[in-house]
Chain A
Amino acid sequence: AQSVAQPEDQVNVAEGNPLTVKCTYSVSGNPYLFWYVQYPNRGLQFLLKYITGDNLVKGSYGFEAEFNKSQTSFHLKKPSALVSDSALYFCAVRDGPTDTNAGKSTFGDGTTLTVKP
């Protein structure tokens, strides 16, 4: 079974400050981890993913995420937040290729990021 938790419903940061959106996961095998962003009245958009290799993954719009196997975390980060980053962010996990439901991802409940000018 696979699961993902986003412990914060809301994150508020000032423009120009660094931001972190937290995600922890649970899988039985090797995790495939994803971050998506949803702007108001839009579908989710893919930001970045971790499959294997370097623990620091870089994605769209200057976002990056750090995979930490010992802490089973995959936190989303950005060094300098923009007001336009304000949106709903989803973490998702998929178990490794041995999972019979290999096509299915489990999404977290989402974290609303608000960046204030």
Chain B
Amino acid sequence: DAGVIQSPRHEVTEMGQEVTLRCKPISGHDYLFWYRQTMMRGLELLIYFNNNVPIDDSGMPEDRFSAKMPNASFSTLKIQPSEPRDSAVYFCASSRGGPAPYNEQFFGPGTRLTVL
């Protein structure tokens, strides 16, 4: 298996522009998570899905952020409009579900976003 795939790996954009980050989870995984990592705030959970349905989006910072999971093999995180304070590394992770809620998460390589 190729693991969790994220694209792009790096994104540099200007304030006000729309940014779309993409994620392909590991096949067969029921959970998908979006995290943001910065030096100041550490690792933050933004939103997670179970079987393509958003379960908890309480970590989404504001309405500028939105996430979708149209099918089991694809998810997007969109920021519109982007601001310099959105600069961070964004990680996607997936895990198995089923009757066992104690499965570990598999992280993608991350997308490093820089908003100028």
Contacts and interface: CB of A to CB of B under 8 A. Distances in A.
A49 B102 CA distance: 9
Given A43-B91, A94-B101, A103 B108 contact: no
A32 B105 CA distance: 13
Interface in B77-91: 91
Given A44-B91, A90-B43, A109-B42, A102 B101 contact: yes
A38 to B, nearest CB: 8
Contact of A43 (B45, B101, B109): B109
Given A101-B56, A103-B55, A110-B43, A46 B101 contact: no
- Which label, helix, strand, loop or mixed, suits the secondary structure of the A interface? loop
A110 B102 contact: no
Interface in A86-102: 90, 94, 97, 99, 101-102
B106 interface: yes
Nearest to A31: B102
Contacts of B34: none
Contacts of B93: 43-44
Contact of A107 (B4, B43, B101, B110): B43
Contact residue range for chain A? 20 to 34
Query: Among the interface residues A34, A42, A107, which one has the most CB atoms of the partner chain B within 10 A?
Result: A107
A104 interface: yes
A56 interface: no
Interface of B: 4, 31, 33, 42-43, 45, 48, 50, 55-56, 91, 93, 95, 97, 101-102, 104-110
Given A44-B91, A44-B93, A44-B105, 8 more contacts: A43-B108, A46-B105, A51-B102, A94-B102, A101-B56, A103-B31, A103-B50, A109-B43
